[in-house]
Structure formats: C-alpha cells, structure tokens
Amino acid sequence: MNSIEQPLILREDDYQILVSFLKDGRYARREDARFVTDLELEIRKATLVTKDQFPRDVVRLNSRIRIIDSDRDSSMDLILVTPDKADIKERKISVLAPIGTALLGLKKGTTIRWEVPGGKREFTVMEVTN
C-alpha cells in the first residue's frame, strides 16, 4: 500500500493530458501496465483546479523537482513528464514511473512512502519549480 499525507492537487489541463494518455491504451499493454493502474487510481482522488488556482509549490507535469530519498539519504533533481518525453539521462521521469506517479500533485514539504521497484521508500519533496 502506498501512502500520501495530503490530498493530491492537479491542474485541469494536466488532468486532461493524463486522461488522454490513459485512454490511449498503448501504455496499458506494456510491461508497465501496473503503473498505469496506479496513476488512474491517484488522479481519481485528485482535487482539480484551474491554472490561476494552482499553487506554485505543487508538482505537475513539467515541474522541476528536488526530492530527498530518506532511506538512502540522497537527493535527486527530476523533471516530471509524459511517457513520450521521458529520458532518464536528462532526468526526465515519466508520470507512469512509480516515482513519477508518487510525486504528481504533491506539495513542497510533503513526505510519502511509495512502492518502487526496489521496495518501499520514503521521499520528501524539497523544491518545486513550475
């Protein structure tokens, strides 16, 4: 079970982009189909807001994020992107990746425990740039 300490917030335009990727179906047939289901569950729980209402310190598509992995005592700088733009060398993480789904809609300062391929890990969102 994954745990988030605060409700998810999504911009309406990001929500529409994500829904279109989920409806597309091409990712549901791949080896990461389980992560598609995780994303579907997360965005169903989200509070949708307009561009003007969206807080600057909340992770959205194309956000630059600094997170701390508490279990490994290390930090990572990432950019959250749609699956077609993911590039690990450029630190562009797909929203369908376990860490991408975990970070979407979270506010700066939020700590979460999330299942990733290496097991459950704890992450804290330290910086968000939109």
pLDDT tens-digit series, residues 71-113: 888 999 999 999 889 999 999 999 988 889 889 998 999 998 8
Q: Say which residue, 112 or 8, is predicted with more confidence.
A: 112
Residue-level pLDDT at 43 = 86
Distance CA 92, CA 64 (A): 9
pLDDT bucket at 13, cuts 50 / 70 / 90 = very high
Look-up of token digits 């949708």: 48
Distance CA 4, CA 49 (A): 19
Asked if 125 and 103 count as a contact pair (C-beta separation under 8 A), the reply is yes
- 3-state SS, residue 73: coil
**Residue 3, phi then psi, degrees to nearest 5:** -130, 135
Asked if 67 and 76 count as a contact pair (C-beta separation under 8 A), the reply is yes
Given this structure, which CATH class describes domain 3-129?
A: alpha beta
* Single pTM value for the model: 0.83
Asked if 112 and 123 count as a contact pair (C-beta separation under 8 A), the reply is yes
Domain range summary for the chain, segments of one domain joined by +: 3-129
